[in-house]
């Protein structure tokens, strides 16, 4: 569930599955975001995002179909590790006109946002420690700092968890220009399950919180 300020603003469903092709070991990621209720009447959001990652969580391709208010866009990004280049193509879904096309230098292994958050689970940082994760959205590539800040007990719809809170520095002129803070809570155990993600924006929208509502295993 996605919360905006004190109301339910939308639903988010994330799936993470092994690649169905044995010749291409890796992962397929899908994320669906949908606004609900009052927020949907004010600003409708219906986004479908997918990404292909290799077995080391390095992103290979991403695809986004986004309906946000009156804007409808389709964005495709290809990441070529051999050439160390990302090719970004964004089109208007209605007119099919190209909105933006560009190429960006990337390292041999770079993560999309979701792959980067999963890579965070492998770092085992203790509070006070930090690391760097290479992240790209296709338009820009950065080495994003992640910082383990404190142990904290939090309550979500799936229960109460002992967690470690991390801050991921992607905003404030890093990957994104807008001022904001991104925090992630991972369980303080062997699973290191992401149970909460929160973006604190410094303008009217306020704070957006995504809590784990259900975990499905296949």
- Please tell me the distance from the alpha carbon of residue 212 to that of residue 207, in angstroms, as a whole number: 16
21 falls within a domain: yes
- Distance (Å, whole) CA 185 – CA 117: 11
- Global confidence as pTM: 0.87
Q: Would you say residue 207 lies in a domain?
A: yes
User: pLDDT tens across 154-172, in order?
Assistant: 998 889 999 999 999 999 9
The DSSP secondary-structure symbol of 79 reads: E
**Rg for the chain (alpha carbons), in Å?**
17
Domain count, the chain: 1
Residue 216 inside a domain? The answer is no
In a domain, 137, yes or no: yes
| Cβ 78 vs Cβ 130: under 8 Å | no
The 10 Å Cβ neighbour count of residue 197 is: 18
Which stretch of DSSP H or E encloses residue 114?
Answer: helix 113-120
**Looking at the domain assignment, is residue 41 inside a domain?**
yes
pLDDT of residue 6: 47
Query: Tell me: the pLDDT tens digits for 172-190?
Result: 999 999 899 999 999 999 9
Rounded Cα gap, residues 101 and 91, in angstroms: 9
Tokens 């010749």 found at: 23
Average pLDDT of the residues of the chain: 89
39-43, 55-59, 100-104, 139-143: least confident range: 39-43
Closest CA to 66 of 92, 91, 48: 48
């Amino acid at each position: 569930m996605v919360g905006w300020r004190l109301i339910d603003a939308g639903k988010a469903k994330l799936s993470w599955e092994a690649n169905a092709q044995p010749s291409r070991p890796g992962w397929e990621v899908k994320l669906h975001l949908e606004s609900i209720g009052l927020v949907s009447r004010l600003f409708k959001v219906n986004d479908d995002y997918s990404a292909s990652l290799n077995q080391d969580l390095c992103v290979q391709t991403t695809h986004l179909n986004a309906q946000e208010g009156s804007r409808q866009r389709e964005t495709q990004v290809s990441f070529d590790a051999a050439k160390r280049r990302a090719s970004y193509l964004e089109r208007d879904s209605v007119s099919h006109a190209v909105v933006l096309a560009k190429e960006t230098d990337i390292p041999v292994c770079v993560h999309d946002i979701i792959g980067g958050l999963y890579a965070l689970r492998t770092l085992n940082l203790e509070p006070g420690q930090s690391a760097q994760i290479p992240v790209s959205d296709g338009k820009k590539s950065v080495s994003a700092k992640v910082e383990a800040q404190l142990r904290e007990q939090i309550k979500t719809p799936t229960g109460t968890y002992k967690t470690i809170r991390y801050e991921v520095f992607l905003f404030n002129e890093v990957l994104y220009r807008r001022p904001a803070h991104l925090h992630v809570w991972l369980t303080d155990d062997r699973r290191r399950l992401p149970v909460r993600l929160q973006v604190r924006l410094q303008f009217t929208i306020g704070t957006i919180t995504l809590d784990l509502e259900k975990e499905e295993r296949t």
